[in-house]
């Protein structure tokens, strides 16, 4: 008995053949493109932009970081037998001119750390201080000795407010190279804000303690005992009665000169 071999109709056989050809062509094209990607000169995908730097992360290498806190300077600009005289809490119409006269008599320079409220009352004294070749220092708008405990907005307003007062009094281009915190009460935020405003935080290394009104002999003796080359000496020309300061300065200036000291500004 002979069996008949069944074969699919011609249309199905042609469909199978066409499918095989299409799959083979697709494989050949896929292999060709894969090899082209690794060959020189082959087109490469366009580079994707780098993701934005998340807030609060470190800046990429080569970019400038915002200024941070800086320790207050407590030395003179020049090394050697120099001292820097500084006067706080003025200007005062009764004492600042007397101190300027004494400095001029002895060829001395000094830095005056001025309070904004006083600057607004006596702008002419700011110009007088500059006219004598002295330097200015921002001592905040109202001498708040608790400034380090305030919020950052208040700190910034007090610091930049006094600088604005000084520039209104003496000209918009007047240099204000220093900032001193009231009472020497510093914080990292205060120093960072001062640096950001373009000023050097200014401390001191010798406190005359004239603000305690201890008497002229005590002021003179205290400075003589503590002074060293490079010292920054704290006095006051405002904020209270300063007759003792004026009298003590009249003794100290010739004594410092006799000891071989010269007068300089603080470091910046």
Q: Are 268 and 113 in contact (CB under 8 A)?
A: no
Q: Does 88 participate in catalysis according to the annotation?
A: yes
What's the residue count for the chain? 268
Of 88, 89, 210, 237, the catalytic one is: 88
Q: Scanning the structure block, which residue is given the tokens 């007062």?
A: 165
Is residue 125 within 8 Å of residue 93, measured between CB atoms?
Answer: yes
DSSP string, 170-188: H-TT----EE--GGG---H
The continuous run of DSSP H or E covering 161 comes out as helix 152-170
236 is catalytic: yes
* 204 CB-near residues (< 8 Å, 6+ apart): 74, 86, 184, 232, 233, 234
The active-site residue, picked from 122, 139, 143, 236, is: 236
Residue 42 phi/psi, 5-degree rounding, is -75, 145
Question: Which sequence positions are flagged as catalytic?
Answer: 88, 236
């Amino acid at each position: 008995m002979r069996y008949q071999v069944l074969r699919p109709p011609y249309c199905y056989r042609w469909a199978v053949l066409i499918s095989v050809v299409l799959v083979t062509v697709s494989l050949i094209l896929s292999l060709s493109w894969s090899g082209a990607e690794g060959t020189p000169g082959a087109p490469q995908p366009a580079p994707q932009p780098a993701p934005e730097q998340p807030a609060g992360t470190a800046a990429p290498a080569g970019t400038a970081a915002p200024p941070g806190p800086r320790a207050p300077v407590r030395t003179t600009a020049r090394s050697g037998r120099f001292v820097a005289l500084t006067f706080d809490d003025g200007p005062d119409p009764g004492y600042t001119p007397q101190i300027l006269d004494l400095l001029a008599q002895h060829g001395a320079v000094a830095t005056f750390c001025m309070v904004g409220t006083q600057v607004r009352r006596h702008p002419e004294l700011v110009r007088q201080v500059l006219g004598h070749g002295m330097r200015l220092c921002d001592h905040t708008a109202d001498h708040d000795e608790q400034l380090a405990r305030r919020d950052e907005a208040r700190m910034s307003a007090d610091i930049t407010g006094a600088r604005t007062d000084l520039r209104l009094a003496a000209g918009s281009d007047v240099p204000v190279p220093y900032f001193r915190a009231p009472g020497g009460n510093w914080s990292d935020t205060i120093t960072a804000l001062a640096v950001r405003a373009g000023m050097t935080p200014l401390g001191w290394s010798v406190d005359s303690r004239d603000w305690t009104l201890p008497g002229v002999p005590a002021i003179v003796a205290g400075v003589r005992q503590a002074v060293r080359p490079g010292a920054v000496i704290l006095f006051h020309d405002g904020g209270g009665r300063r007759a003792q300061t004026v009298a003590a300065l009249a003794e100290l200036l010739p004594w410092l000169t006799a000891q071989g000291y010269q007068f300089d500004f603080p470091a910046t």
